[in-house]
Structure 1
Amino acid sequence: MAAVVPVLEEGLANSLQNIETSHRARTGALTTSLNIARIRCVGDPDAVMLETWESWLLAMQVSSAVFAAASSDQETVTCKIRQEERQLTATGPQFYLNAGTWLNAFFLALICRETARLDMLAQVPASLLRDCGGVPDEYVYAWVETLRSFWLRRDDVDQHLVRAVDLSAPEHARIMDPETMSKLKYPPMMMFYRYLRNDAAGFNEALNDALRWHKEYWTADEDRTQNIEGVVAIAPLAIACLAKTNGIPIEVESGYLPTALLDFAWRGEFDA
């Protein structure tokens, strides 16, 4: 992994050079920045090294920036990326700005406790995500609406969450296979349900289940074991960060939950 990072960093630097105007650069920066963050956690599973935290912060900045540009009604939008103010041209809907990308952006902002970026992401209209093309399973839009309504303090959070859970049932899935849905997509929704009810014991049980299923999924065969996506359980980590910030003690320890990210150990060290 140590040998891979410099190669990816070079590619990321090239993408960031052109991120202000290039769609190709934005897609490259989205993928590469998050993969670098994951890879750094292979050698630093607790995320205690400065470089690891910086990589997660950068992934958050990039994913938020592309949505700020997508939803802006101005010609350009100013976004901070790697401590530099960038002027990103506005884009409107684009193929890489789908609901799955939005969820990653929201989860990364939760992990980094970036309320201003969460405010911005919550204002991204669902219509923009639908206009980006592709035909994902309908549950993903209900899950997005759940998180948007929660952050905007609307009173329809439970309604959207119930719909998201119902639509994640195997009989409603058209694109996603049942194993991925049940082991990776459904568990964070149950964690969020327990969080909304301030059920500390139930939350930790749901977190433990989510991590157990995450491990089962990503160690099921050799190909999955080698896939960098499995190194950190991003969605469960994000919901756990939200819960911890709001007073629910996290009693579960796991290599899939980097301790320094969960504890926000780098609080105040960077102007994000």
Structure 2
Amino acid sequence: MSFFTLSIGRLLRQSVTVAILMMSCLGFILPVSVAKAADAPAIAAAANIKFALDDIASQFKQQTGLSVRISYGSSGNFVTQIQHGAPFEMMLSADEFYIEQLQKSGYTQDAGVIYAIGRLALAAPKQSELILDPGLVGLAQFITDGKLIRFAIANPDHAPYGERAREILTNKGLWDEVQPKLILGENASQAAQFTISGSTQGGIVPLSLALAPQFTKLANYVIIPDDLYQPLYQRMALMPNASETTERFYQYLQSPQAQTILSEFGFNLPHTTEMHD
């Protein structure tokens, strides 16, 4: 478990174990196959887009009869996997920086397109005493009162949503106080699961995951204003080995049907010109 900051003893280790079991049950961190067909192309996708992309892939199959296999994880880890030969035919990143990395190294066909703009939420389990508000005033008071014990974000070293969570906390002058209390998820979905599992008192998570029924049953959230962090331009690109099925899925993600689903899951949408650069 090298991807977590675990420095608070046996209780935290037990909480993490429970959280991982819950993640497996809810399908947050396990690679998801949209179809079992062996010839379905492999797609790498940022964890924050899981629920929206599952719906989009399902509609794609209904309309075309074609299937794709989607693995969810952190964008930074996928870059490393692709550079080491992972046979993905397409990547949907949580931040365009990672697609730019791949393009410069010749691992993509081109610069790709922005398919969505990510947003963040401050969330807490329903039993938490943390008061949620868009300006994080309640979190600041919670810290001042000495009540914050554990707080979840994605690992900022390789997860864009973790990077932005750190930026938000820094902008609010809370990073130094929160950092020793952090439980780091390897990706955004793990951070979201820690937030609802009871192993933390709150966390900063993707809005797209906070809107999911699996989340809202167990936690409350508020949307963090977009001006508190740099935009999360989520870019996707095809790999040189992309099949016709993958190319069609890439185009489908830019369709009005797919964009409607992304909007329903809390994403801001790119301008039309950005979609077709």
TM-score range (shorter-chain normalised) is under 0.3
User: TM-score when scaled to structure 1?
Assistant: 0.25
Q: Give the number of the structure whose residues are more often strand, by fraction.
A: 2
Q: Give the number of the structure whose residues are more often helix, by fraction.
A: 1
